[in-house]
A and B are shown apart, each in its own frame.
Chain A
């Protein structure tokens, strides 16, 4: 990871050994309910300037919405259909030959509900990049199995936990939850106590798992 840049903006994170460290703690007694509902604060990311970022922008143009860096970690926000071409480009042209992870983040209030996050690493460059796309519920993003075989299980887990189906995936089944289970546990509207009552009763022979 390259140069650490100090993020600016109003919601800047606390400086390393700073006097501001104790600031937010003192006035509020430990009452979680008192957390003030702030208007949408955004990540204080700064633009990511590098040859790679410029090369990507040149190659993909408007399909890349943002190339930024936060806490010294670089990421790209791209349009959903550009994700696989970008992964391919990074693998073939820039040596990002190791797909570290695929995961998703649910933002139910947004029209494009899910963040789909790909993390890639390059052994020769010793560099990590995150590629983020935003997709609405029901959208079927293209699978990355054709570029990195490891995407197979990682995408199955995303499907299992979030209900995001990947188009063209060779084996789109649940991986951790039982196959007949209803619901996708890591969606924000899935309560932590929720369960598939019918599955529990039929498969385990008990009234409830709680």
Chain B
């Protein structure tokens, strides 16, 4: 802590406030990783913020240029490591677009099941840690208990729990295991009552409401201005979800809704994400009933060498629009892979969301942004 030195204070009394610059992070439990925020304060009021990021920068985009298309596939899991399956799906779709191929129907349905399970797992990490930041200790244990069930399915399917590398360019490497459908159905039966349980703990809770209502408001126009997508945009009343707007992997075949709210505050974002988990279960139920027979791998050339060209493909990741802009120069290695990370873009709106708020609110707002620093820094 250090006082801003430029403020000369001959006339000021002890009660006059002066600007204070407070450093938060990078080692701070409620920054969800290594995010450093420099806060400018007037008493408890936030006058402005400056985010210092890059502590987890590993040069993923540079690595991509030095690996073949298939070799780079596992690296994308290390960006948003709580939603690795979504990262993999986006990358595979982008390269498939460049190759002008499509995964076979069976692979697409399995992809949807795993991606939606991953969305639930990601939202559970968000809910647990968000509640913990605000002072509710119980939900994190409940959330991690149910997340474990989803991760068990990943582990049985591909051997890994977090960095799954579940998909391959052109489809899937592994056939589903015996009992996959039974496990997924059991999860779908088990999970919705658990969401009711979380809601019983939080939704009507006075402290929860007090800490969340009208905190970190972001209107629809501000969201668009800042490029903010995902649950934040939907909580501001914009009914926009890439799964509906530009369907991929056969999402147009499933019947589900896009939950929206109107106020765009932290509480609305909480409600939107809770409803999204229920919608994900709804999608998984339909998908698991309709897994078609057939191959799991499309006609992919042995050596992946897309024609000279470029493609931008984006998916609705749990955090928002996750895009891959891949440029091919006709060789076996991508010439350029640009990842458009939802966390990075959404984090930029932090300043707008907390200006004028109290210091304590910044933990709530960072929690509601649902950032993963691995994806912010890449």
Interface residues, chain A, CB within 8 Å of chain B? 1, 7, 11-18, 21-26, 28, 30, 32, 35, 38, 41-45, 70-71, 73, 97-101, 103, 105-106, 117, 119, 123, 126, 128, 130, 148-150, 152-154, 157, 161, 174-178, 185-186, 188, 190, 192
Contacts and interface: CB of A to CB of B under 8 A. Distances in A.
Given A15-B100, A16-B101, A126-B245, A73 B311 contact: yes
Contacts of A30: 302-303
Contact of A150 (B59, B61, B345): B345
B325 A185 contact: no
A59 B244 CA distance: 33
Interface of B: 53-54, 57, 59, 61-63, 65-66, 68, 97-102, 224-227, 238, 240, 245-246, 299-303, 305-312, 314, 321, 323, 325, 327, 330-332, 335-336, 338, 340, 344-345, 348, 377-378
A100 B227 contact: yes
A105 B327 CA distance: 8
Given A32-B68, A35-B331, 13 more contacts: A14-B99, A14-B101, A16-B102, A25-B302, A44-B309, A100-B314, A103-B325, A105-B335, A126-B245, A150-B348, A153-B344, A176-B377, A192-B59
23 contacts: A7-B309, A11-B307, A11-B308, A14-B99, A15-B100, A16-B100, A16-B102, A17-B299, A22-B299, A25-B301, A44-B309, A71-B98, A73-B312, A100-B312, A100-B340, A101-B323, A123-B224, A126-B246, A150-B225, A154-B345, A176-B377, A177-B54, A178-B54
B309 A185 contact: no
B313 to A, nearest CB: 9
Contacts of B309: 7, 13, 43-45, 70-71
Contacts of A35: 331-332
A25 B62 CA distance: 26
Nearest to B311: A71
Contacts of A14: 99-101, 301, 307
Contact of A71 (B63, B100, B246, B336): B100
B336 A24 contact: no
A101 B325 contact: yes
A152 B101 contact: no
Contacts, number: 140
Contacts of A190: 62
Contacts of B321: 100
Contacts of A12: 307
Contact of A128 (B226, B312, B348): B312
A209 to B, nearest CB: 12
B99 A13 contact: yes
B8 to A, nearest CB: 27
A148 B61 CA distance: 24
Contact of A186 (B62, B97, B348): B62
